[in-house]
A and B are shown apart, each in its own frame.
Chain A
Amino acid sequence: MTETQVESSAVRRWLSDLAKGNRRWIQGSVAAGTLAGFATIIQMVFLARIVHLGVIENASASMLAPLFAGLVLAITLRAIAQGVQTHLAARCSEQVRRTARRQIHRYWRNSGPLALGQTSAGSLAREWIDHVDALHGYFARFLPQMTLSLIVPLIILLLVFYLDWLAGIFLLLSAPLIPLFMALVGMGAEKLNQQHFEVISRLSGQFLDKVRGLTTLQLFGQTESAAEVIQQRSDHYRRVTLKTLRIAFLSSAVLEFFASVAIAVIAIYIGFGLLGYITYGPSQDLTLFSGLLILLLAPEFFQPLRTLSQYYHDRAAALGAGAEILARLGDEQTASPAADHDVEESDNDLSFVTPAVDSGSIQLSDVSLAFRADHPVLSNIGLTVAKGDVIALTGPSGSGKSTLLHLLAGFLAPDSGDIKVFGKPAGTFAFGWLGQTGFLVHGTWADNLRLTSPNVSDVAIETALSNVGLGPLLESRDQGIHSKVSEDGQGLSGGQARRLSLARIFVADYDLILLDEPTAGLDSDTEIFVLEALRKLALAGKTLIFSTHHHALLALANRVLLVSGGEVRDV
């Protein structure tokens, strides 16, 4: 579980909300399951009838033929219903997972890039992919089976009562036990699953811990003893787990025992009844047909319950995964409200919103921000930047340069004060952003540039890429901008990735471009290309704001601002 503890009742509520949205599929799956149950009953009726007619009444083959045809029809129907049931169940889980993924993605967009950056992309991706997939078994198997394990036994019980009420009472005797079974199986299985999952995750945690520290173990020459430790720990956990399992398995053994004993008791009762040894009750009316039918139905009475107990681990897995997803979604209220423009499911395609021409400046009035109450990062900043200015932000590390950029981008909202960018709230229109790590996707160069500007021409893409000095690299590729960015598994260097990001800005024609340390960590070749590219952007009349310590970049700016001690002033 992550930072926030999530109540298991909240998780259950979330799961049932997801189920509600996909009720149709679950109902369909239950209906098909019920149909399969009906077909099973009909199959048994035909079987018992055929045996009775054939053995007791010596019916001829031609008399039995239509019954055999009915039997084959019933089992075919049963198979079809079974197939349809699994198909619908799988579709249900597919829909549920789509909904859950949509929820998480909406949360990402509402949180904004800064809040998301707090968690590693790897674990966010794991939540979106693996945790959501862990919901599969619950919706595809457990949930439909829960309803089926009530419906099917009930139908069978009614039929057995009709055939012989005393045999029905034998089943009914175990019927009040069914909720008890459910609870027992539930508790037992839950405990068992908890135990099992805990042990498994602890063991894999220990294993991964050692793999993660393999270099350290090698440095100390201790890999062999670590392997022995893994062995001993696993053995120890195994012994501890088995002690619990001995108890936990008892609950399902009880279910198994009742099912077996009920069949045995019914068989012996019917046998004695047919012999006429029982002189009271309905047993005088027993025939081979009704007796055999009751016997054939008895295992089917318990089967849905046994199946349910097999699916209990699906529920445990879904509850575990759901808790982690909810722990993440739970912060939604505290998330930054700044990225409001992005909350709609479909983009309001910001690239086409041109900022109003008349409001040609960026204005910060009385802006304050503190991450901790006693430690203001920026206090009462007032600042006006003219359109077309090239602004360098400088100052000691941790002084708030990046924070100021985040405010201008709308990734952060100020505690107080007002920010207007070209007459609009920050972050309400498309602008260029260049972070410290370049960003690229698997695909062609053109794909990468069209990510942010879908409608640009091939020529514009080629120009943008050569503007950032990637021209020679492209010429070496067979298909130019339509070749994959990372060919033969060869990735881009950090500098090339940063230049690719810069090319995106070139091609998009933004009025405002924010750059966080655009040359940090670059080798000198790349640095020259970035400087040259920024100069071209400045000449094209773009408003550039960047944080930097680099002297060449400071020289490029027509205004240098020092961010220090919560203040911003001209140098």
Chain B
Amino acid sequence: MFELKPWLKLIGARPTRLFIGALLMLAALLSGLGLLALSGWFITETALVGILLAASLPATVNLYVPGGGIRFFAVSRTVSRYLERLYNHDTVLRLLTDIRVALFRKLSSVGRGQRRELTGAQWLSRLTSDVDALDTLYLRLIAPAALAALVTLLVVVLASVLFNIRIAAGIGLILVAAFGIATLATYTRTVKISSRQSDQQESLRTAVVEHLEGFAELTAAGRTGKHGAWLMRQAHQSSSEQVKADSRIGWHQAGSNLLINLSAVFALWAGFGLFRSGEVSGPVLVLLPIVLLGLAEVYSMLPEAFGKLGATQASAARLNRDCRQADSVPAAGEVIALPVNTALLVKNLAVKYPDHAPLFTHFDLQIQAGERVGILGHSGSGKSSLGDVFAGLLTPSNGFCSSLPCAYLTQKTVLFEDTLRANLLLGDPEASDAQLWRVLELVDLADRFQTERDQLDTWLGSSGSRLSGGEARRVALARVLLSSEPLVILDEPFTGVDAATRERITPLIDAWLEGRTVISLAHGPDALPGTDRVLYLGV
């Protein structure tokens, strides 16, 4: 259970809102119970009075209080249900925000270069579904369970007032059993299946991806059918587990329903004893069983929610693990002070990925402040890893690297689903519109966006999908140029940019970067901006 603790704490940070939401839910539930109970009482009362009246015996009945009550409950049930749904959806959306923001803060505290395993589309989609499992925890599970317990208590108190303590205790016992079946029993009978199924789903996903990655080899060997059939069996096993869990949830639901109905039968049976001895009137005798029947609605949400609690716990555990990874501090490499007038100093550097031959060993480099250095190498020669080491994203396996604060254009173009302005302002949050236009002119994009209706507020779409590859690259370049760091590292700055544009913007960029240190990495000399010296990597 404690894997849920940090998330419950987060949810509990809005106590007033949760309380009001629960109160509205309670109002809707009690109105529903009240409507039926009062109607039952009223019909029995009128039936008894009607018989007396038919026999011309004196009898009176107050029609206005119960009639008004019935009308009131009919309206209050509708209104409170409507308000409750609206208010609680608001709460869920707020909790969603809280959880996402908290998770994002935790993830962004990750040490640079430590997050390598926390990327990938698979991880991202898992992250979404795990977060979704948590944000409805309050509405699906906590609030209904708490309310069911409270309403049950109220009904038992009502029974002890209307009937007597002994009968109330009997009803209470049956209801506690019903509550236990709907909550705890459902949970314990499904938790293993749920978490097993969650694991199975993960390994099934891995197996499917493996199948697809090896599809050419399997096709060549004529084995896609056999291996596919194996996958089908795995998938089927996983859904059989789900069927098992669903069935158990269904049977527990039916069992808890059965007990609720039995409590009504018991109340009626025991009530007749009191009725015959004149301790309760007929209308009151009818009222209590009807209230008990109405409890079914209060309990109906519980088994489903508790049957999924195991999976929710697994989600919470995974998110906690991701965040723990984020908390670990990266091993501090050797740090030494930079000599005066030096922008970058690299000594005896080695870069090695696990299970691969080292990319570099004994790599030395010293770059003076204000120098323009180009580094050339074919693809796979380790340029980008070198850039990552310079920018502090990658920890070298040996040696050390110190540099001035730097602005780094990574090989991969990363634009956010946001406005052009917001994407550029990352480089310098204080920049004025005039500065933004100036830097767009540098990369020959000013005209392109002047003609857009929204100009700087043009929406860039998912991963900058409304731009061509070259345009997206130049937006990313403009963002780096906007930053005023003394060292600028550009990894393949002109990917996807055509030759004519490249020739036009290179001198502008060179002039703009006057006085700063620039390290450019590229696969060929024509992909570099102006340089004082050029290094060649590898063979």
Contact = CB atoms under 8 A, between A and B. Distances in A.
Contact of A433 (B50, B216, B226, B253): B216
Interface of A is mostly: helix
Contact of B205 (A47, A129, A216): A129
Q: Which of A64, A108, A231, A347 has the most CB of B within 10 A?
A: A347
Contacts of B107: 211, 214
A270 B43 contact: yes
Interface string B55-73: 0000001010011001101
A64 B270 CA distance: 12
A535 to B, nearest CB: 21
Nearest to B42: A271
Interface stretch (B167-175, B184-192, B242-250, B502-510): B242-250
Interface stretch (B207-215, B492-500, B520-528): B207-215
Interface of B: 35-36, 38-40, 42-51, 53-54, 61, 63, 66-67, 70-71, 73-75, 77-78, 81-82, 85-86, 89-90, 93-94, 96-97, 100-101, 104-105, 107-108, 110, 112, 115, 119-122, 124-125, 127-128, 131-132, 201, 203-229, 231-232, 235-236, 239-240, 242-243, 246-247, 249-251, 253-255, 257-258, 261-262, 264-265, 268-269, 272-273, 275-276, 282, 285-286, 289-290, 293, 355-357, 380, 391, 393, 407-408, 410, 414-418, 422, 426-427, 429, 462-463, 479, 483
Interface in A50-92: 50-51, 54-56, 58, 61, 64, 68, 71-72, 75-76, 78-80, 82-83, 85-87, 89-91
A440 interface: yes
A264 B71 contact: yes
A126 B462 contact: no
19 contacts: A43-B261, A55-B44, A80-B254, A90-B246, A124-B212, A130-B125, A206-B417, A209-B417, A212-B124, A220-B479, A223-B104, A271-B67, A276-B54, A430-B220, A430-B222, A431-B220, A431-B221, A440-B214, A521-B380
Please give me the 4 A-B residue pairs with the lowest Cβ-Cβ distance, nearest first: A86-B250, A350-B222, A439-B214, A493-B355
B289 A47 contact: yes
A433 B261 contact: no
Nearest to A92: B243
A257 B239 contact: no
A80 B250 CA distance: 10
A71 B265 contact: yes
A90 B222 contact: no
Contacts of B132: 200, 204
Interface string A113-128: 1101100111111101
Contact of A267 (B42, B112, B229, B426): B42
A341 to B, nearest CB: 7
A109 interface: yes
Contacts of A346: 225-226, 229
Interface residues of A, number: 159
Contacts of A112: 219
B74 A263 contact: yes
Interface in A507-538: 508, 514, 521, 523-525
B408 A219 contact: yes
A56 B220 contact: no
A387 B110 CA distance: 57
A532 B271 CA distance: 92
Nearest to A223: B108
A288 interface: yes
Contacts of A87: 243, 246-247, 250-251
A230 B40 contact: no
B82 A256 contact: yes
B350 to A, nearest CB: 15
A94 B242 contact: yes
A249 B82 contact: yes
A287 B47 contact: yes
A171 interface: no
A199 B135 CA distance: 14
Contacts of A437: 213
B225 A344 contact: yes
A536 to B, nearest CB: 20
Interface string A397-420: 000000000000101000000000
Contacts of B221: 350-351, 430-433, 451-453, 504, 508
A396 interface: no
A249 B70 contact: no
A241 B91 CA distance: 12
Given A124-B212, A350-B222, 19 more contacts: A55-B286, A56-B51, A61-B276, A68-B265, A86-B250, A86-B251, A87-B246, A89-B250, A209-B463, A212-B414, A215-B112, A229-B422, A234-B93, A253-B82, A275-B49, A347-B224, A451-B218, A504-B217, A504-B221
A193 interface: no
Contacts of B124: 208, 211-212
Given A98-B236, A288-B43, A288-B47, A75 B265 contact: yes
Interface string A87-106: 10111011001100110010
Contacts of B285: 51, 54-55
Contact of B212 (A90, A121, A453): A121
A440 B124 CA distance: 23
Contacts of B463: 209, 212
A492 interface: yes
A127 to B, nearest CB: 10
Contacts of A372: none
A276 B50 contact: yes
B91 to A, nearest CB: 10
A199 to B, nearest CB: 8
B122 A90 contact: no
Interface stretch (A173-181, A291-299, A464-472, A554-562): A291-299
A235 interface: yes
B2 to A, nearest CB: 25
A97 B77 CA distance: 39
Contacts of A114: 216
